[in-house]
Amino acid sequence: MNIRQKGGAPGIFSLAIHGGAGAFAALKDEMEIAAYHQGLEMALRTGRDILASGGSALDAVEAAVLSMEDNPLFNCGKGSVFNSEGFHEMDASIMDGNTLACGAGAGLKTVRNPIRLARRVMEHSPHVFLAGAGAEEFARLQGLELVAPDYFSVEKRRAQWLEARRNDQIQVDHDSPAVPEKMGTVGAVARDCQGRLAAATSTGGVTNKKFGRVGDSPVIGAGNYADSRTCAVSCTGKGEEFIRIAAAFDVHARMCYQGVSLQQAAETVIHDCLKTGDGGLIAVGHDGTMALSFNTRGMLRGQTDHTGLFRTDIF
């Protein structure tokens, strides 16, 4: 079904991205900070170019997330964290706000780009959510690129895992004081010139997690949601907490049922429904407005739109 679009002028486009939220206490080196800005700028530019040329919000969010999945700075795709067994298990989801079509994959071990798997599930499967070996087989049948598991490994992620294992901790990657690199879940939300909204989210999870653990990123309504009548949302942080309150859907629900603004809905979810330190979210409204809210000391983030706005921030 097509969702009736609500308001918003034609020609308006907006895109927001995130690369994780956290304390960032150890991120002080100027070159490291510059590298994160460059990674965010590349993803932002990739999505913006699609929107500026009249492309769809769905294509824009997929492309922006794909850029970050291929960048070892971020905890998704190449550069994903290690689980307790010393392997990688990745999750991703995508949602089309114009039709409410959505797709997700979890526990992926060899799919080079989990966000591509999520979109294939949405468009070429009767299901919404595939996990584990079944998701991997679906990827193979769809002709998606599969790689050896060590493709995703980077040495600083390994060091982070060894640190967490020594301390017997399950560690949100951006909370590591010893290894500040690669700060977490990534996501993108967009409004295109036709008023369509979309959201995409991808993650490697948390360091030293028990194998089989799934966080909020592939869960529609928790880490990801889009409805072109209201907003598109992508979350980052402590996944269990976002699942418990259906955080992404809650932003939509507050706009839909209470009639509040995007900013008010996002701020309420982040600051009133979640605890300080749990994370953040990015959202774009049906009218092109954007909200980037977090209750941590920082969130890797960027935003751009039709007016020429183009900026990235960390702290």
**What are the residue numbers of the active site?**
185
One-letter amino acid of 288: G
185: CB partners within 8 A, 6+ apart: 18, 19, 20, 75, 76, 201, 202, 203, 215, 217, 223, 235, 236, 237, 239
104 vs 163: CA distance, rounded Å: 31
What is the spatial distance between Cα 201 and Cα 20, in angstroms, rounded to a whole number? Answer: 11
List b or e across 99-126, with b for residues whose CB sees 16 or more CB atoms inside 10 angstroms.
bebbbbbbbbbbbbbbbbbbbbbbeeee
Answer yes or no: are the C-beta atoms of 232 and 97 closer than 8 Å: yes
Q: Show Cβ contacts of residue 73 under 8 Å, excluding neighbours closer than 6 positions.
A: 19, 35, 36, 39, 79, 181, 182
Nearest Cα to 289, choosing from 195, 187, 186, 185? 195
Residue 162's CB is within 10 A of a number of other CB atoms, namely: 16
Give CA–CA dist 117/93, Å, rounded: 9
Q: Rounded to whole angstroms, how far apart are CA atoms 137 and 67?
A: 24
The amino acid present at 120, given as its one-letter code, is R
Cβ–Cβ < 8 Å for 292, 17? no
Asked if 247 contacts 281 with a C-beta cutoff of 8 angstroms, the reply is yes
Scanning the structure block, which residue is given the tokens 């965010």? Answer: 40
